[in-house]
Structure 1
Amino acid sequence: MRASMRYTARVQNAAATHLPSAVEVAGMSAEQVAALLHSNEITIRAQQHQIDALKHQLEWFKRQVFGSKSERFAPEPDPVQIPLGAVLPVPGQTVEARKAVPAHTRRVPRRDSTSEAADALPFFDEARVPVQVIPVANLQAAELSPDQYEVIGEKVSYRLAQRPGSYVVLKYVRPVIKRLDTQAIHTPAAPAGVLEGSRADVSFVAGLLVEKFAYHLPLYRQHQRLIDAGITVSRPWLTQLCQQSIGLLEPVYDAQLDSIRASRVKAMDETPIKAGRVSHGKMKTAFFWPVYGERDEVCFPYFPTRAGAHVREALGLEPGAGAVLLSDGYAAYASYAQKTGLTHAQCWAH
């Protein structure tokens, strides 16, 4: 028994450096084999723990060097530890030369925001911005009769104010009548909406799209604002409204793209966009191919890749006589110009 315990201790101490051969294992007792297996299991656990720790450190260093800025963490540098990648000595800071400048005074701008004259200058488009006129009473004339003073002029001041955005519910009241001669009942039909069977007015649908795509206000924030205003609707309903209203705009998009295709001079480019998920936490990279026409029209055809075939799908194979395509140096545009016979004008900015 003592010999077995001594052998077990020797195995545990030397397991990481020595493994018994098959002949040695054959001469062991059952207790010795069990002790050897237990020791090997402990060694494997310790090595696996060390491997996991090293993997974690390696992933951290990868994020610091190659990761995005949001993944990086820059702790306070250790004065003893050399920074990662610092193999050259840091050059000393040079002291900038300085010279004395005599004191001087500056002229006050004419349009000072605190001056009374600046308040009288309109800073907005009066044709687009509503103006509410607020008369200010003259306290000196309050105690005088009209025959004791005369108004010789007026001074105007402007202040920029804000009214919180609000929602309005349109209530259509339709009278139901009964003709006395025929006993027939008549009810006028409800006004038709832009989306059949929907409670959303066209103004609400337009505002929903403008705030989402022009001012980048997500639907969930618009939903929160609706709730704060006392309107209870479901969050998926806003998504359905967007999808249905975008479907109504597709004929407008198709007509505009046809107009761009008919232009003699067109400009085109491609830009990546994250659309769809590849896996958990990772977005798929797709491409917008914006195309610009002679009438200042812009369309953004969407394609999943950057393949050159998408240029033909977006512009067609009949560009017209004397057509010119303005683009960068991407080979797909040159290939399209060669196949269709149009003039390829490369952009000077690339």
Structure 2
Amino acid sequence: MTSSPNLDQMTPEQLRALAAQLLSKVDTMGRESRRDKTVIEQLSHEIAILKRHKFAKRSEQISPAQGSLLDDLLNTDLEAIEAELNALRPEPAATSSRQQPKRAPLPPQFPRTVIRHEPESTLCACGCQLERIGEDVSEKLDYTPGVFTVEQHVRGKWACRQCETLIQAPVPAQVIDKGIPTAGLLAHVMVAKFADHLPLYRQEKIFGRAGLIISRSTLAQWVGQTGVQLQPLVDALREAVLAQDVVHADETPVQMLAPG
């Protein structure tokens, strides 16, 4: 436990630095408090809907079709909360015995775009020329309006036979680590859901007609994790909007048709 600083013995510069540090902490705690309050209100609302769905009178109960829409919302929120909790947890120690689930390969009929990632220099630190000994290939699913494509990221492995040094280009940054969707596909799913009001169960069917099997739960996970990554932008937009003298909002509800 740290003791409180003696303000009488601090210089004006130290006092200003301490004040700036305290203001920064207060601002951070305020943002976290507002975010927690929003999550609590959202989950409380969903719990109330679930209780109504289970315990209300028959005339007031939610139909199974409406419950299907609620499942998307719950899966999205749960995935967002899980992503935030994972970001706060320390990195677990890597264990070789843990088996990773195998992901189904992307459909072979989709066009492939090969993106190669190679080291900037193939000259070893010892002065020898590196030799290419292999490569790692990972596939990402991309989407442009009306067309699904696959990005093949090829990362060559270069080794020095003299000093046994292995060099490989780093993995490009992704919105979802180790996931198959590119930023373009995630943007399409988010815009379709929130701007075009297209539920995930409909997007699942649209993808299925294109020959791509992506479950609704997977789409909900993508939405939740993308929402967490976009939270800093949401906070910045909120501050910009609330800084205005007058704010106009369109509160017109959008009706959602039941599945089927």
TM interval, shorter chain, is 0.3 to 0.5
TM-score by length of 1: 0.29
Which structure dedicates a bigger proportion of its chain to helix?
A: 2
TM-score by length of 2: 0.38
